[in-house]
Structure 1
Amino acid sequence: MNRIKTDICILGAGSGGLSVAAGAVQMGAEVVLIEGGKMGGDCLNYGCVPSKAMIAAAHHAHAQSNSDVFGVKSVTPEVDYAAVKDHVAGVIGAIAPHDSVERFEGMGVKVIQDYGRFISETEVQAGDTVIEARRFVIATGSSPFVPPIEGIDGVDYLTNETIFDLRETPDRLIIIGGGPIGMEMAQAHARLGVPVTVLEGDKALGKDDPELVEIALEHVRADGVAIEEGFKVASVSSDGGVSVTSEDGRTIRGSHLLVAVGRKANIGSLDLDKAGVEHDRAVKVDDGLRTSNRRIYAIGDVTGGLQFTHKAGYDAGVIIRSMLFGLPSKAKTGHIPWATYIDPEIAQIGLTEAQAREEHGDAVEVLRFKFDENDRAQAERRTEGLIKVMVVKGKPVGASVVGMRAGELIQPYALAIANGLKISALTNMVSPYPTMTEVTKRAAGQYYVPRLFQNDTVKKVVRFTQKYLP
């Protein structure tokens, strides 16, 4: 049995683990990184990267069949589903070297390609190596949650970990789950010519602002996606294809089934009890992302909080400050944005309108601006969209966007909320004309409409100065 002593040992080479490893080793710490699966984790191999690559392919197919409005004859695109998957694999391959064993070993990180488990409060075993470290980081992420549906074990279902390997075009795709993953894959497949039905037990995209969701789903449905809400799955069966039956007796049939109902923390093989780490369905952490064992931190999806790649990267920065410099550092979530990459996109930062009204009552002001008042949106023929900004005492506490490139347009508000800026910081910004980003400024400007343009006192002052100023 080999033994290694190190400053920091990281379990998991996804976004969070890689960020900690790169930051710590470049600042002088000795680092061991353990990964039994693929470097880059879920985001690179099964999540963000392949899904966005597939969405990009679907966008180009959609553009070919919807170009008449620009004076360009629409055509029915010829989609090679296997070639689309080659494109997806190519994108992963282009990014993979950045997350590779070779790159991190070149930095000075000791990479062990095996699965790790705790054998004591100060030791982890990976293969035939025992690692003793001053600090450990659990960054093992999450994986698809497959609920115990009657008959599921007898069906050859897909998850986000397997759908990107599928090369034959589905005759009809059924997706259980109307969250971000389910809806993104639904619209992408529909635009690539696959009939799709989404089955959602409650409301599709139920965590987002319902007003924005209604706008987005109108366009998803227009692309041919059938969305069955309130469809509580009772059973599935295989009958040459796949059949899904609801508790109220509805049955939907298709050729392929994608299960996209949520995620579960990857903690099952870590032997956390031997390390004295408290957990339930996820690892329990304090505000500084420390576990009940003060030597051990946990970051990203494995903590059961917001499950975003950028959140894991943020967590990495929080614990590096604590681990390397001994400085107090706390993780927050109010400034973490997210986006769902359907078309039109939905993005959110901070409080939604409903949350803001519940928390702040009458003190909240909701600023609104529609995309059809933006000249670039008109030029692009992408006028479906809305931005809402929730303001309390002159500061934005939340922003919601639906529309083209909403994930980009949310970022000025992410900057403002992260730094406690006033709404005036957005109105002082000058955007080049014509750009979509102008909607963020115009939305902020609505704060001053009643204060300046609908204010009798202001009008009296202006009339006075115009009368008496030389």
Structure 2
Amino acid sequence: MTSLTCDVAVIGAGTAGLAAERNARKHGARTLLIDPEFAGTTCATVGCMPSKLLIAAARAAHQARESDLFGIRTGPVEVDGPAVMARLRRERDRFVSATRKDFDALPEGTRIRARARFDGLAGRLSGGQARLILDDERVVTARAVVIATGSAPMVPGPFAALGDLALTNETLFDLPDLPRSLAVIGGGAIGLELAQALARLGVSVTLFDSGTRLGGVRCDRIHATLKKAMAEEMTLRLGVTPEPSKDGRAERIAWEDGEATFDRVLVAAGRPPNVAGLGLETTGLRLDDHGMPEVDPRTMQCGDAPIFMAGDANGARPVLHEASAEGAIAGRNAVAWPAVVPSRRKTPFTITFTDPPLVSIGEDPDDSAAIGSADYGNQGRARVEGRNRGLARLYAAAPDGRLIGADLFCPGADHLGHLLVWAMEAGQTATDLLTRPTYHPTLEEGLRGALRQICRAVPLELPGDSDPGQPPGL
């Protein structure tokens, strides 16, 4: 039986795993990066990039159909499904190729193509080492281990029984053509993005969710605006339990008060962490009912063991920039164990790339927070571009007016959200932002009314007459 030894073993070669290995090696550790495929990151292969390629095609089709608003006549818009999917895969493969260059840059002997599982952790509190068994029967002994195994689509049993009629975000992008009709199961970020994109590409889409809240939106007013916008482009079946059954080469979905047949179904019911088969039960860690250990979000350490869990594998903040940050924290602390160092985490920040984009920033505000709202239904720049819909809600702490969060569903929210989260990271107040220059006419200008509402509610000093703010009615 071959034995391998290292200071830090990293299980999983995605965004978090690459960041962990890189930072551990930077801090002097001998590392091993273990992955069964080294296929590339989830973002490049089946996540961020292919989904945005589909969304970009959908935006082009939507804008062509809406051009009559500006006096531009295009005639009927034809969507060439095979061409859409061919470009998507061609560009996706370019992104994947770029991520794989990170594997080629690893020092010789660092990359281990195998599956790993724990086989006990001897002397956890006295400097003992972790023991990993690989599926090729090699044994890895490491001073510390970083788990960065990512997540995978959850396909409930009734949908799994449908075979290839059931799609996930890991199989959708390999379709040779667009389906004529599609049931989307799940109204989270993935379900919303793909449902709207496919609807704009001419697919008849029905979205099902057992809950009544789309996208995990916390603000009732934002959710009402989002729901209204989505209902204009697809059929929504919320608060129902869809039951699938195979009907030849189609899929029949029944729910409490109806049924319909679809060409395919996209299951977007969540992506739980990939922890099955890791042997966590042998480590002495306390596990919850889902087999998950408790992870300190400031150190990424599991309990007091030399085991760290980063990225989608821990299920805390399953977005790419957080996976990269968590991987770096885990890699550094794996080297330093047992002298781990807590890190200050960045402000929570998520974007769902619907149109308009849906953005959430910061923690849930409490009852003491001052709130400012900006309605983009008649905002100047949005109206010029025919995108005048949506709402922004900003939250500030009393009594200082420091910005602590925001919910946005409005044009340019993906860019506005960055401005707001940067301001929050800098500890800025509503007054601070109002004193900054704002060009006219822009979408950023639309936030000024919300900032002024916060200043009046706290109260804070409003900028003087030398700052005219947004022109009336715009």
1:350 maps to a residue whose letter is: G
CA separation of 1:12 and 1:380: change in aligned 2, threshold 3 A = same
Residue 417 (structure 1) aligns with: 424
Query: How is 1:340-351 mapped onto 2 (pairs within 5 angstroms)?
Result: 340-351=352-363
Residue 227 (structure 2) aligns with: 217
Aligned partner of residue 263 in structure 1, secondary structure: coil
Moved more, 103-112 or 340-349: 103-112
CA separation of 1:227 and 1:300: change in aligned 2, threshold 3 A = same
Aligned partner of residue 66 in structure 2, secondary structure: coil
Residue 350 (structure 2) aligns with: 338
Q: CA deviation at 1:70?
A: 1.9
Residue 44 (structure 1) aligns with: 44
Q: CA deviation at 1:24?
A: 2.9
Q: CA deviation at 1:212?
A: 1.6
Residue 141 (structure 1) aligns with: 150
Residue 8 (structure 2) aligns with: 8
CA distance in 2, matches of 1:86, 1:38: 24
Q: CA deviation at 1:105?
A: 4.0
Selected match of 2:334 from 320, 323, 332: 323
Deviation readout 1:337-373 (Å, 9 max, x if unpaired): 111111111101124xxx42xx3x2x32111122255
Residue 294 (structure 2) aligns with: 284
Selected match of 1:302 from 299, 305, 313: 313
CA distance in 1, matches of 2:7, 2:438: 47
CA separation of 1:375 and 1:266: change in aligned 2, threshold 3 A = same
Residue 246 (structure 2) aligns with: 237
CA separation of 1:330 and 1:454: change in aligned 2, threshold 3 A = closer
CA separation of 1:284 and 1:375: change in aligned 2, threshold 3 A = same
Q: CA deviation at 1:442?
A: 4.6
2:276 maps to a residue whose letter is: G
2:424 maps to a residue whose letter is: I
Q: CA deviation at 1:259?
A: 1.0
Residue 370 (structure 2) aligns with: 365
Q: For the Cα contact (< 8 Å) 1:38–1:45, is it kept in 2?
A: no
Moved more, 205-214 or 275-284: 275-284
Q: For the Cα contact (< 8 Å) 1:152–1:237, is it kept in 2?
A: no
Aligned partner of residue 416 in structure 1, secondary structure: helix
Residue 103 (structure 1) aligns with: 102
CA distance in 2, matches of 1:441, 1:23: 41
2:195 maps to a residue whose letter is: A
The answer to whether 1:183 aligns with 2:182 is no
CA distance in 1, matches of 2:103, 2:82: 32
CA separation of 1:416 and 1:320: change in aligned 2, threshold 3 A = farther
1:406 maps to a residue whose letter is: A
Q: CA deviation at 1:72?
A: 1.4
List alignment gaps of at least 5 residues for structure 2.
122-129, 466-474
Selected match of 1:267 from 271, 275, 289: 275
Residue 203 (structure 1) aligns with: 212
Q: CA RMSD in A?
A: 2.6
CA separation of 1:425 and 1:32: change in aligned 2, threshold 3 A = farther
2:306 maps to a residue whose letter is: R
Q: For the Cα contact (< 8 Å) 1:186–1:198, is it kept in 2?
A: yes
CA distance in 1, matches of 2:84, 2:71: 27
Selected match of 2:385 from 380, 383, 386: 380
TM normalised by structure 2 equals: 0.86
How many residue pairs get aligned? The number is: 445
CA separation of 1:45 and 1:278: change in aligned 2, threshold 3 A = farther
CA separation of 1:20 and 1:75: change in aligned 2, threshold 3 A = farther
Aligned partner of residue 252 in structure 1, secondary structure: strand
CA separation of 1:419 and 1:106: change in aligned 2, threshold 3 A = same
CA distance in 2, matches of 1:432, 1:232: 48
Q: CA deviation at 1:164?
A: 0.9
CA distance in 1, matches of 2:404, 2:30: 40
Q: CA deviation at 1:389?
A: 0.7
Q: For the Cα contact (< 8 Å) 2:153–2:271, is it kept in 1?
A: yes
Residue 470 (structure 2) aligns with: none
